[in-house]
Structure 1
């Protein structure tokens, strides 16, 4: 009887460990995807900001050459 109980505990622990590992892996994958999306959004915002800065600089050059 003790042997069966011990096996039940061992198998239960292994199954729980496997399930936890799977959830951890999926959680890590979700976090990586979210991080990738944030990086992409940040890059787009930076590109837009750079474009605005270049446009303003071009306007200032035009104003300076018109005078």
Structure 2
């Protein structure tokens, strides 16, 4: 019985491995189908390679929206902490009632 199981397992593995390959001619070189830009084009850079990068004006604007977001996050955190305290108090009352 074990011999039959080993033969069945070996043939299943062989069929699985045979099903993975789909190359008709193994002598052809593998080609990447999803490459959009060749390596030479990607490394060449823009036409004006001597140009210096410029500063982004939006990067130096005031950080007021971030401060508002921080304030809102702190308020939400405080509300969550108050809700947790309420639940703990209700659980303590329920324990004392029993």
Q: TM-score range by the shorter chain?
A: 0.5 to 0.7
Alignment partners' CA distance in 2, 1:20 and 1:59: 59
Alignment partners' CA distance in 2, 1:18 and 1:59: 60
Counterpart mapping for 1:5-24 below 5 A: 17=57, 21-22=61-62
Give 3-state SS (helix, strand or coil) of 1:30's partner. Answer: helix
Structure with bigger helix share is: 1
The TM-score normalised by the length of structure 2 is 0.40
The TM-score normalised by the length of structure 1 is 0.58
Gap runs ≥5 in structure 2: 1-53
Alignment partners' CA distance in 1, 2:66 and 2:83: 26
CA deviation digits over 1:14-57, x for unaligned, max 9? 7x8268621xx100000000000000000000000000000000
Gap runs ≥5 in structure 1: 1-12, 61-67
Alignment partners' CA distance in 2, 1:54 and 1:19: 51
Counterpart check, 1:27 vs 2:65:
yes
Runs of 4+ in 1 over 4 A off after TM superposition: none
Work out which of the two has the higher radius of gyration on C-alpha atoms and give 1 or 2.
2
Alignment partners' CA distance in 2, 1:34 and 1:55: 32
Alignment partners' CA distance in 1, 2:64 and 2:97: 50
Give 3-state SS (helix, strand or coil) of 2:61's partner. Answer: helix
